[in-house]
Amino acid sequence: MSERETYQPGVPCWVDNLVSDVDTARRFYGELFGWEFDGPGPGDYYVAKVRGRDVAGVGQAPPGVEAGWNTYVSVASADDTASAADRVLVEPFDVLPAGRLAALGDPAGAIIGVWEPGQRLGCQLVNEASAYAMSALHTPEPEAAARFYRDVFGWETEEFAPGVSLFRLPGYIGGEPAQPVPRDVVAAMAKDEGPARWSVDFWVEDADGLAARAPELGGGVVVAPFDSIPTRQAVLADPFGAVFSVTTAPGPH
């Protein structure tokens, strides 16, 4: 397990899903992951919890916004980060008392959030069953993306496998000691000819079991369970079509 009290600038720190029906989303994720929820906060926003620790957010989508999981990177100043980016999709604004956020568009159109923490620093629990583990960028323009994320967040890029690269933040130590990638890895990137987008992955006790359960709860299976690093992985969708992946957490269960 991994409890987090702080996030240094440049580290993904929070994920959330904005949907058209928050109650339906809470039921789906509550039954799938066993999440409990605090809230509502401003904007009909709820914080999902595991063992009493914040792990993700579920909130009401603004009109015209499709449901989808969002990734936020911790920054010292949302305003300074936005001013350094070419495309600012959502100008910095306060979400008091939690913090201040903005949303940027990368060269291929993937959306990444930035989070200047106030009272909410980010996920209080990561890399354990039912908690957030990693975000990945799927993009048809990996070279342009590598330059963008280096300039905005200081990430360095290293090839991991054909078509797959790792984003690393020099000096950062995160993750778990036994993980199969260096501990300064903050995200992954895959070359993908589809629309550019960020995806999120959650560790779970049994990816096969959740893939069987998701359709019963009104969701779906996008990619059936398959062998992956470190164990088994599946790609699922919630009742609104928001896609996310689940990976069987390494170690005994």
HEC-encoded secondary structure of the chain: CEECCCCCCCCEEEEEEEECCHHHHHHHHHHHHCCEEEEEECCCEEEEEECCEEEEEEEECCCCCCCEEEEEEECCCHHHHHHCCCCEEEEEEEECCCEEEEEEECCCCCEEEEEEECCCCCCCEECCCCEEEEEEEEECCHHHHHHHHHHHHCCEEEEEECCEEEEECCCCCCCCCCCCCCCCEEEEEEECCCCCEEEEEEEECCHHHHHHHHHHHCCEEEEEEEECCCCEEEEEECCCCCEEEEEECCCCC
Q: Considering the domain boundaries, does residue 27 fall inside one?
A: yes
- CB atoms < 10 A from the CB of 189, how many? 25
Per-residue pLDDT for 251 more than 90? no
Per-residue pLDDT for 232 more than 80? yes
Q: What is the pLDDT of residue 38?
A: 92
Of 125, 158, 175, the residue that ends a domain is 125
Are 144 and 170 contained in the same domain?
yes
Give me the mean pLDDT over the 183-203 stretch. 95
β-partners of residue 27 are none
Place of tokens 């580290």: 11
Q: What is the pLDDT of residue 1?
A: 46
Q: What is the pLDDT of residue 230?
A: 66
Of 90, 125, 160, the residue that ends a domain is 125
The proportion of the chain whose per-residue pLDDT surpasses 90, expressed as a percent, equals 81
Q: Measured between alpha carbons, how far is 57 from 47 in angstroms, rounded to an integer?
A: 5
Place of tokens 């906060």: 41
Q: What is the pLDDT of residue 142?
A: 97
Buried b (16+ CB within 10 A) or exposed e, 220-247: eeeeebeeeeeebbbbbbbbbebbbbbb
* CATH at residue 220: 3.10.180.10
Per-residue pLDDT for 162 more than 80? yes
Q: Considering the domain boundaries, does residue 235 fall inside one?
A: yes
In which domain, by residue range, is 242 found?
A: 126-248
Are 61 and 90 contained in the same domain?
yes
Phi-psi region of 133 (alpha: psi -120 to 50; beta: other; left: phi over 0): alpha
Q: Measured between alpha carbons, how far is 65 from 129 in angstroms, rounded to an integer?
A: 29
Q: What is the pLDDT of residue 182?
A: 81
Are 116 and 212 contained in the same domain?
no
Compute the mean pLDDT over every residue in the chain, rounded to the nearest whole number: 93
Say which amino acid occupies 70.
N
Per-residue pLDDT for 123 more than 80? yes
| 96 or 229, which is more confident | 96
Are 140 and 233 contained in the same domain?
yes
Buried b (16+ CB within 10 A) or exposed e, 147-168: ebbeebbbbebeebeeeebbbb
Of 65, 91, 125, the residue that ends a domain is 125
User: Which pTM does this prediction carry?
Assistant: 0.94
Tell me the pLDDT band of 39, cut-offs 50, 70 and 90: confident
Phi-psi region of 150 (alpha: psi -120 to 50; beta: other; left: phi over 0): alpha
**pLDDT digit string (tens) for 53-112?**
999 999 999 887 788 999 999 999 999 999 999 899 999 999 989 999 999 999 999 999
- The total of structural domains in the chain comes to 2
Are 17 and 132 contained in the same domain?
no
Length of the chain: 253
Q: Considering the domain boundaries, does residue 253 fall inside one?
A: no
- Report yes or no: 92 and 82 within 8 Å, Cβ to Cβ: yes
| 40 or 109, which is more confident | 109
Are 107 and 154 contained in the same domain?
no
Q: Measured between alpha carbons, how far is 9 from 7 in angstroms, rounded to an integer?
A: 6
